[in-house]
């Protein structure tokens, strides 16, 4: 099995979401499993110069900036396609995802690779038989409350790619009761079967 671990917190040292994601990895990893790791803070490109979804631009029409986008996008799509299990850790930033995670989703949404258009014009995810664990952390925002735009968005994007088996581990409202949030999250990790 290949496990793909993606961290997105802008905090490197002392990041709770990164630490919990590591615990999820320790919980699910079997000795022979391979781990692919990606820190979205190490390398990121924002999509520009596009007019439609799916990054559908002929190579001959690509400018230097497009080429940079495609280079990283090709790598991210490859990592996603190769993996069986995906762990994504993400803190809530201003009620939504960290910008790097949104940028990741824009680069991963590739027509013919992670989704396709069906003859009726609807989209269909192409990443089948994968499962995902999402590690969500927050200061004061309650998970799935009407001010949490990260969790429903991230689930929707993964569904859009065809990933439907999704488990959520959360340490939300850490600013209110840090110990309780962490304890709850650790219990959720223990209960992963
Ligand atoms: C730029 C920024 C924006 C934030 N916005 C929110 C927010 O909207 N709601 C919230 O509950 N916490 C917010 N927080 C707090 C983080 O969600 C919290 O510190 C984080 O989940 C901890 O994860 P980490 O230690 O992995 O970075 C914000 C933090 C930062 C740095």
In this structure, the residue with its CA closest to atom 17 of ligand 1 is 138
Tokens of 142: 């309650």
Is it the case that residue 118 has pLDDT exceeding 90?
yes
How far is 65 from 98, CA to CA, in rounded Å?
A: 22
Is it the case that residue 99 has pLDDT exceeding 90?
yes
Is it the case that residue 138 has pLDDT exceeding 90?
yes
Residue among 7, 19, 92 whose CB has most ligand 1 atoms within 8 A, to mutate? 92
The H or E element that residue 27 is part of is helix 16-28
How far is 184 from 192, CA to CA, in rounded Å?
A: 13
Distance of CA 118 to the CA centre of its chain: 24
Residues 6+ apart with CB under 8 A from 103: 40, 44, 45, 46, 47
- Could you tell me the pLDDT band of residue 160, with boundaries at 50, 70 and 90? very high
What's residue 35's pLDDT?
98
What does the mean pLDDT of the chain come to?
96
What is the rounded average pLDDT of the residues 86-114?
Answer: 98
Q: Give the torsion sign (CA, 134, 103, 108, 12).
A: negative
Q: What is the pTM of this model?
A: 0.97
In this structure, the residue with its CA closest to atom 29 of ligand 1 is 93
2-190 adopts what CATH topology? Rossmann fold (3.40.50)
Q: How far is the CA of 119 from the centre of ligand 1 (A)?
A: 41
Domain ranges of the chain: 2-190
- Could you tell me the pLDDT band of residue 51, with boundaries at 50, 70 and 90? confident
Q: How far is the CA of 140 from the centre of ligand 1 (A)?
A: 8
Residues with CB under 6 A from ligand 1: 9, 11, 15-18, 91-95, 137-141
């Amino acid at each position: 099995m290949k496990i793909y671990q993606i961290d997105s917190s802008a905090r490197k040292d002392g990041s709770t979401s990164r630490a919990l994601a590591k615990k999820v990895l320790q919980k699910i990893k079997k000795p022979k499993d391979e781990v692919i790791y990606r820190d979205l803070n190490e390398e990121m490109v924002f999509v520009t110069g596009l007019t439609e979804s799916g990054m559908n631009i002929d190579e001959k029409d690509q400018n230097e900036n497009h080429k940079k986008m495609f280079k990283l996008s090709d790598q991210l799509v490859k990592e996603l396609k190769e993996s069986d299990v995906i762990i994504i850790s993400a803190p809530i930033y201003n009620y939504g995802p960290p910008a790097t995670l949104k940028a990741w989703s824009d680069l991963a949404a590739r027509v013919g690779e992670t989704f396709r258009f069906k003859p009726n014009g609807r989209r269909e995810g192409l990443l089948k038989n994968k499962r995902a664990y999402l590690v969500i952390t927050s200061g004061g925002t309650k998970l799935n409350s009407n001010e949490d735009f990260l969790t429903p968005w991230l689930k929707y994007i993964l569904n859009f790619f065809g990933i439907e088996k999704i488990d959520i581990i959360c340490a939300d409202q850490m600013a209110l009761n840090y110990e309780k949030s962490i304890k709850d999250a650790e219990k959720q990790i223990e209960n992963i079967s």
